[in-house]
Structure 1
Amino acid sequence: MTTAAMHIARTGLDAQDMRMRVISNNLANVNTTAFKRDRAQFETLSYQIVTAAGAQSTSESKYATGLNLGTGVRVQGTSRTETQGSMNETGNALDLALDGDGYFQVQMPGGQLGYTRAGNFSRSPEGLLVTSQGYQVMPGITIPEGATQITIGTDGTVSATVPGQAEATNIGQIQVASFPNPAGLTENGDNFLLESGASGTANLGVPGQDGRGRVRQGSLEASNVNVVEELVDMIETQRAYEVNSKMISATDDMLKYVNQNLS
């Protein structure tokens, strides 16, 4: 008797532990603005082919089925669920949400561009529209000093009313980035995603055009994490972990029996 079954169960423990980490991160970010839940994806490890299907069983016949022994499981990767979260009205003129697909583009430290759906923006001391970390929203928009009212249309057009002027002045336009494969964007923390070879190149455009979402002023997108679903997944993961643990214990008992009674 070998320890192959014990090794297979150990791979199951490792995979379920990783899945629990994914679920834990989802629940930790249940109140994070515009957070998108992740889902762990599993794949089998390589198989040991003892008898190949179609191989000669005798000189006159072939095996109809083969004998293939699996070697375990692993987490292949995580996939981000891109469904939109609910819209929370805040009443803040600089809080923006995207109703539909796309991302706001942000200038990060070192000149790197980041992408986010968290539109809790504010005005910097220099008048620039920035994120809560102080990163500038691109293309850059400067809010005039003393502006009494800021209006942002669904197409991203930004207007400001300043003292001494009866009508609002157009001060810029927010653009939305779209990607050929948004699932390929790399998560970077702080609610930012980075372009990768899998995502393709960002394509900036006017909100509401070519499949891009429209801008909703005075709102923030909530996390799309469903607590009930995550708790169900957590219980399922816990049970799978327990079963793999029992498999290791059962295999260990079988090995003890062999050593004590058959050696």
Structure 2
Amino acid sequence: MFRGMYTATSGMMASERKQQYLTNNLSNAQTPGFKQDQAVIRSFPEYLLKERNTTSSQSDKRVGDLSHGVYTQEGVPLFTSGTLKETGNTTDLALLDENLPTDEDTGKKGIALFGVRTEDDAIRYTRNGNFTVSEEGFLTTSEGYRVLNTNLAPIQLSSEQFTLKDGKLVEANGNEQEIWIGYTGNPEGLNQRGNGVFEWSGDDNNAPRDIRTTEFTQYTVEQGFLEGSNVDLTTTMTDMLNTYRMYEANQRVLQTYDQSIDKSVNDIGRVY
């Protein structure tokens, strides 16, 4: 009986965790370049049940497998492209890489990324091209992370008035810097760290590298555009409702077990 309570409880906890991912997706539906997370729900290891036969020499009869519930293991970003939106702002940049082929080494579709440097001097990656020029003249994200050039140094500009040509930011005075575009053939190694910023946690051999070192040229950078979030509001709302119903179903099971235990203790076990 108690095993059933544990199973129902695990289902409630998994539903709650999945709902957190869905809520985060919904709250970032308007965040440029945001990639929605898909919750991965797995089952705990199953146990094999056998019927013990103590009256004969026959081998034990297999009854079946017993599951001890499920859990939400992780959230995996979905790296489909978002809708392109024109803004007209010179500092807004959008990556178009839908035509990148499947990577032969990983068997997965690769992805292009901007590189940024955080306050603690770590390199992170993003698809959110909603950049601005700081007071110091650095091209930065909304969090203040500095966008990198091909030397992995922060891009510094004299003003917001520049044009993008062949991946290079060309200023009116003739100064130009080429923006660093990273490529990885294993997007699953990227973990979201908020506002569309990713941290690499996969194999170093597949870490984002300068796309110029690859043979892939099926990408462009568009100025005055932003890539929208790939969150589908209708699908997300439907998933949230289904997840809530799954939580309620496990809750009713738990209540049923609670009532059964109450009856066993207070009625069946009563001594007259």
Category of TM-score, reference length = shorter chain: 0.7 to 0.9
From the superposition, tell whether residues 88 and 251 of structure 1 become closer, same or farther in structure 2 (CA, over 3 Å): same
From the superposition, tell whether residues 225 and 57 of structure 1 become closer, same or farther in structure 2 (CA, over 3 Å): farther
State whether structure 2 residue 182 is matched by structure 1 residue 177.
Answer: yes
Of 139, 156, 180, the match for 1:142: 156
Q: Which moved more, 1:212-221 or 1:128-137?
A: 128-137
State whether structure 2 residue 134 is matched by structure 1 residue 124.
Answer: yes
Are the aligned partners of 1:29 and 1:35 in contact in 2 as well (CA < 8 Å)?
A: yes
Q: CA deviation at 1:115?
A: 0.7
Q: Which moved more, 1:4-13 or 1:128-137?
A: 128-137
SS in 2 for 1:132: coil
Tell me the residue number matched to 2:246. 240
Tell me the residue number matched to 2:90. 93
State whether structure 2 residue 66 is matched by structure 1 residue 69.
Answer: yes
User: Runs of 5+ in structure 1 lacking a partner?
Assistant: 163-168
Q: CA deviation at 1:57?
A: 11
Q: Which moved more, 1:246-255 or 1:189-198?
A: 189-198
Q: CA deviation at 1:125?
A: 3.2
From the superposition, tell whether residues 212 and 116 of structure 1 become closer, same or farther in structure 2 (CA, over 3 Å): farther
Number of matched pairs: 250
Alignment RMSD (CA, Å): 2.7
Are the aligned partners of 1:47 and 1:70 in contact in 2 as well (CA < 8 Å)?
A: yes
Deviations 1:178-222 (A, max 9, x none): 123222112222432112234732211349961663101100111
Quick one: percent identity of the two aligned structures? 30
Alignment partners' CA distance in 2, 1:208 and 1:119: 22
Q: Which amino acid aligns with 2:141?
A: T
Tell me the residue number matched to 1:222. 228
Using the size of structure 2 for normalisation, the TM-score is 0.82
From the superposition, tell whether residues 20 and 159 of structure 1 become closer, same or farther in structure 2 (CA, over 3 Å): same
From the superposition, tell whether residues 156 and 61 of structure 1 become closer, same or farther in structure 2 (CA, over 3 Å): same
Deviations 1:120-168 (A, max 9, x none): 11223343322233332111433346x8x52113x41222224xxxxxx
User: Runs of 5+ in structure 2 lacking a partner?
Assistant: 98-110
Q: Which moved more, 1:75-84 or 1:41-50?
A: 41-50
Are the aligned partners of 1:207 and 1:213 in contact in 2 as well (CA < 8 Å)?
A: no
SS in 2 for 1:51: strand
Alignment partners' CA distance in 2, 1:21 and 1:88: 28
Alignment partners' CA distance in 1, 2:186 and 2:56: 52
Tell me the residue number matched to 1:165. none
State whether structure 2 residue 66 is matched by structure 1 residue 78.
Answer: no
From the superposition, tell whether residues 171 and 8 of structure 1 become closer, same or farther in structure 2 (CA, over 3 Å): same
SS in 2 for 1:189: coil
State whether structure 2 residue 202 is matched by structure 1 residue 197.
Answer: yes
Tell me the residue number matched to 1:47. 46
State whether structure 2 residue 261 is matched by structure 1 residue 262.
Answer: no
Using the size of structure 1 for normalisation, the TM-score is 0.85
